[in-house]
Amino acid sequence: MVDFRLGDEYEELRTSVREFAREQIAPVIAEHYENEKFPYEIIRQMGKMGLFGLPFDEKFGGMGGDYFALCIALEELARVDSSVAVTLEAGVSLGAMPIYRYGTDEQKRQWLPRLTSGEALAAFGLTEPGTGSDAAGTTTRAVLDETTGEWVINGTKAFITNSGTDITCLVTVMAVTGTNPDGSKELSTIIVPAGTPGFTVAPQYSKVGWCASDTHELSFDDVRVPAANLLGERGRGLAQFLRILDEGRIAIAALAVGLAQGCVDESVSYAKQRTAFGRPIGDNQAVSFLIADMDLRAHTARLGYYDAASRMLAGEDFKRYAAIAKLNASNAAMENSRYATQVHGGYGFMNESPVGRFYRDAKILEIGEGTSEVQRMLIARGLGL
C-alpha cells in the first residue's frame, strides 16, 4: 500500500513549526522585511527548537533526524515567511552540511556544535560576479604557500546568503587550487573563518525579495588560512558541492511549496471575508476557480519533493527527481503568488500584505540553487538526452 501520510514524529514537527511560524514570526516579520533587518531573535528561537540541527547526528549537537524533517520545517516556515525559511535552508544545507559530509573529525568538532545549535551560521561561497550558473568557471584562486603551510586566497564571491550576520562564523570558499592533468581547473573548498584578515564583507544588497535575510558580496585579498582548512579532498570541491546542491534543491522545493501553500491559505481566508456586490468574493466562480488551481499546484509540488526526498533517504539516484521537484515547486510558487495577488486586488499590492511579500519572494526561487533552465538541463540529462 502506498501511503503519503506522514508518521507521528514528522506530524509533530510540522505542527510545532506551524504554530511557531504563526505565533512568533507572522506578527513581527513585516517590520523586519520592510526595514531589511535580520531577525536575530527569531533565529535564536529556531535554534532553541533544534531546527538547525534537524538532519545531524546527536554527537555533533544535532537532533538525529533526517533531511526530510528539515524539508517539512522549511515548508511550514515559508507558509508565513521565506526570509526566515531561507536562513534555515542555507544555514543547514549550504553552511553546515558540507562540513558534516566532508569535514575531518577535527573540523566537525570545531564547527558543527555551534552550527547545529543555531548559535552560529555558516555560508558557502560559490557564485562569482562573472560566472553565475557556470560553477566550473570559478576564478577565485587559492595557492598553497609551502613555506608557511597556509592557503593564500584571492577573489570575489557574489550573492552569498548568511555571510555577513553578527553570528556568521565561517564561509566555505570554492577556489581554483591548481590544474588537472587534462588541463581543466582543479577546484577545492576551503574554510575561511569570519574576521580573517583580508576577508571583507560588502554592505548588504538591496533586494527585491527575501528582504529580512542576509546576502552579501565577499572579497578575499591575500587571505591566509591553515592548510588544514581544506574541506574534503583536494580537487574534489566541485563534485562535492554538486552533491550538496542536489540535496539543496529538494530543500528549496519544500520552501517553494510552503510559499505556494501560504498563497492558498491567505487567499481562502481573504475570499471568505472580503465582500463585493453583497456577498463574499469566494462565492464567485472566477475567484474560487483561481484558488482551486492554486491548491492543485501546491499539492502536486509537495508530492514532488516528498518523492525526491524519499529517494535520497533510500540511497537511490535522486538527481533528476530533485531537479523535477525544484522546477515544479518554483513554478507553483510564482504562479500562486501572482494569482494570490490578483485575488487580494489592491491590498495584495501593498507591502504590508503577506501576499505582497510572497509575490516579491517567489521570483528568486526560479534562480537560486540552480535556475529553471539548469533544472531542465538536468532532467534532460537524466533521460539520456
CA distance linking residue 219 with residue 214, whole number of Å: 16
> Dihedral of the CA atoms 202, 26, 346, 366 (nearest 10)?
50
**Which of 128, 150, 247, 369 does the annotation list as catalytic?**
369
- Which residue has cell 537524466? 382
Q: Is 369 a catalytic residue?
A: yes
SS (H, E, C) the chain: CCCCCCCHHHHHHHHHHHHHHHHHHCCCHHHHHHCCCCCHHHHHHHHHHCHHHCCCCHHHCCCCCCHHHHHHHHHHHHCCCHHHHHHHHHHHHHHHHHHHHHCCHHHHHHHHHHHHCCCCEEEEECCCCCCCCCHHHCCCEEEEECCCCEEEEEEEEEEEECCCCCCEEEEEEEEEEEECCCCCEEEEEEEEECCCCCEEECCCCCCCCCCCCCEEEEEEEEEEEEHHHEECCCCCHHHHHHHHHHHHHHHHHHHHHHHHHHHHHHHHHHHHHCEECCEEHHHCHHHHHHHHHHHHHHHHHHHHHHHHHHHHHCCCCCHHHHHHHHHHHHHHHHHHHHHHHHHHHHHHHCCCCHHHHHHHHHHHHHCCCCCHHHHHHHHHHHCCC
Report, as residue numbers or ranges, the catalytic residues.
369
